[in-house]
């Protein structure tokens, strides 16, 4: 540090820290702006409002799942099973609809199913499901990654479940409207799914930053041992956090069903990796204790914009995969550099 030493050192430090915190907060948004501007400049037709509308819509499913993953990752955990859980939720919704449930019941049932899966993960992680045998979230969710998809396939006998029709009218009612939007007006320009995800993101942000549960999540992710010594009820907190994340996964499942209206056991394969990439691009640390919903959302938009723009640029799939990989790598490298700078700054 070659900064002048004239002023009060503590003042200087706190000012620097604040600047860094702001930077960490703003960086994903800046990167988002750069990617957007780049595509706007070079990809023909990228800037049209119709296309912006499409990008927001297409980001919604991953965003819902990633908001949940942000909670989990901040608390030092990980969820590899989210794609399988989404597939299971779509199957469950299709089953409910075919048993005569209305769309509202199906939606709430789907979200609840996600929550139950979340609680199952939490219970396994803290050692409540298998008594006194806490397991690492990586292992638990790796097991569920396969098992949940297996259940989804079993429910449908290896086939998708199509929603039946009664009297020519589909039983799913307004469910597709969530992702398709109205024919005109505000809910056409920005579809209901995007509003739902925004509300979900706001709620989770409030939980993370304004409640004891949120404080405890950061504390556990930062240093679990220290948190325990300070009296944080670690198992109960983790259990609740995974349950909360599960509700977000449930919402992702609902939106997936709205987008492709059938129970599909092969849906959302690889979603878990997209979600983790988005959370990391958004500035969260995979070792826990840092991250924000806003950053995650920026991360998702970056990836969606890259997908969309690469198609507009007529790039082959393999080029697009390399570009996406490059962006993830850069984001993580930058995170490392920031941490190093931070340590140098505080020592």
Partner 1 sequence: MNMPTPRRTTLGVLGLLLAGAVGFAAAPPERKTIAVIPKGTTHVFWKSVEAGAKKAGEDLGVNIIWKGPMTENDRAQQVQLVQQFVSEKVDALVLAPLDHKALVQPVKAATAKNIPVIIFDSALEGQAPKDFASFVATDSEKAGALGGDHLKTLMGGKGDAIILRYLAGSASTDSREKGAITAITAITAGKAGKAIKMISDNRYGGATSAEAKTAALNMLDDIKKAGGVFCPNESTTLGMLLALRQAGLAGKIKFVGFDASPPLVEALKKGEIDALVVQDPRGMGYKAVEAAVKVLRGEKVDARIDTGAVLVTKDNLAKPEIKALIE
323 part of the interface to partner 1, by CB under 8 A: yes
34 part of the interface to partner 1, by CB under 8 A: yes
58 part of the interface to partner 1, by CB under 8 A: yes
Least gap, CB of 162 to partner 1 (angstroms): 6
- Tell me the site size for partner 1, rule CB under 8 A: 60
Tell me phi and psi for residue 203, to 5 degrees: -60, -45
In sign, the C-alpha dihedral spanning 189, 193, 197, 203 is positive
Residues contacting residue 333 through CB under 8 Å, at least 6 positions apart: none
Both tokens of 48, joined, read: 């049209």
Kindly indicate which of the ranges 158-166, 186-194, 228-236, 242-250 contains the residues binding partner 1, using the contact rule CB under 8 A. 158-166
DSSP for 108-168, please give it.
HHHHHHHHHHHHHHHHHHHTTTTTT----HHHHHHHHHHHHHHHHHHHTTTSPBPPPEETT
Spatial distance between the Cα atoms of 225 and 213, rounded to a whole number of angstroms: 17
Q: Are 93 and 263 in contact (CB under 8 A)?
A: yes
Kindly indicate which of the ranges 199-207, 235-243, 289-297, 302-310 contains the residues binding partner 1, using the contact rule CB under 8 A. 302-310
Pairing type for strands 169-170 and 165-166 reads: antiparallel
What is the number of other CB atoms lying within 10 angstroms of the CB of residue 283?
Answer: 26
- Residues 249-288, one symbol each (x = binds partner 1 by CB under 8 A, - = not), give -------x--xxxx-x-xxxxx------------------
310 part of the interface to partner 1, by CB under 8 A: yes
Kindly indicate which of the ranges 22-30, 187-195, 199-207, 214-222 contains the residues binding partner 1, using the contact rule CB under 8 A. 22-30
Q: Indicate which single residue of 56, 60, 61, 106 sits in contact with partner 1 (rule: CB under 8 A).
A: 61
Residues forming the site for partner 1 (CB under 8 A):
1-3, 23, 27, 30-31, 34-35, 38-39, 42-45, 48, 50-51, 54, 58, 61, 159-160, 162, 176, 180, 256, 259-262, 264, 266-270, 307-315, 317, 319-321, 323, 326-327, 330-331, 333-334, 337-338, 341
């Amino acid at each position: 540090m070659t900064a002048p030493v004239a002023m009060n050192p503590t003042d200087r430090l706190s000012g620097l820290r604040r600047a860094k915190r702001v930077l960490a907060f703003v960086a994903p948004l800046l990167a988002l702006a750069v990617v957007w501007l780049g595509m706007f400049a070079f990809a023909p037709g990228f800037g049209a409002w119709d296309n912006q509308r499409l990008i927001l819509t297409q980001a919604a499913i991953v965003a819902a799942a990633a908001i949940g993953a942000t909670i989990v990752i901040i608390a030092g955990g990980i969820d590899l099973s989210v794609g399988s859980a989404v597939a299971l939720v779509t199957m469950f919704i299709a089953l409910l609809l075919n048993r005569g449930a209305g769309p509202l019941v199906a939606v709430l049932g789907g979200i609840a199913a996600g929550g139950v899966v979340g609680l199952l993960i939490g219970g396994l992680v803290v050692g409540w499901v298998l008594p006194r045998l806490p397991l690492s979230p990586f292992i638990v969710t790796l097991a569920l990654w396969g098992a949940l998809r297996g259940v989804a396939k079993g429910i449908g006998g290896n086939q998708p479940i199509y929603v039946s029709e009664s009297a020519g009218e589909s039983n799913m009612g307004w469910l597709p409207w969530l992702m398709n939007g109205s024919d005109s007006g505000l809910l056409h320009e920005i579809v209901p799914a995007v509003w739902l995800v925004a509300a979900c993101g706001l709620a989770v942000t409030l939980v993370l930053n304004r409640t004891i549960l949120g404080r405890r999540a950061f504390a556990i992710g930062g240093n679990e041992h220290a948190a325990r010594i300070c009296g944080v009820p670690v198992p109960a907190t983790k259990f609740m956090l995974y349950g909360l994340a599960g509700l977000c996964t449930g919402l992702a499942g609902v939106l997936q069903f709205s987008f492709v209206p059938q129970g599909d056991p092969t849906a959302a394969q690889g979603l878990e990796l997209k979600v983790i990439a988005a959370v990391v691009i958004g500035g969260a640390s995979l070792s826990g204790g840092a991250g924000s919903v806003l950053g995650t959302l920026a991360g998702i938009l970056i990836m969606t914009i890259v997908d969309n723009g690469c198609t507009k640029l007529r790039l082959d799939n393999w080029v697009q995969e390399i570009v996406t990989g490059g962006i993830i790598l850069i984001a993580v490298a930058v995170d490392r550099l920031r941490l190093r700078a931070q340590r140098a700054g505080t020592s």
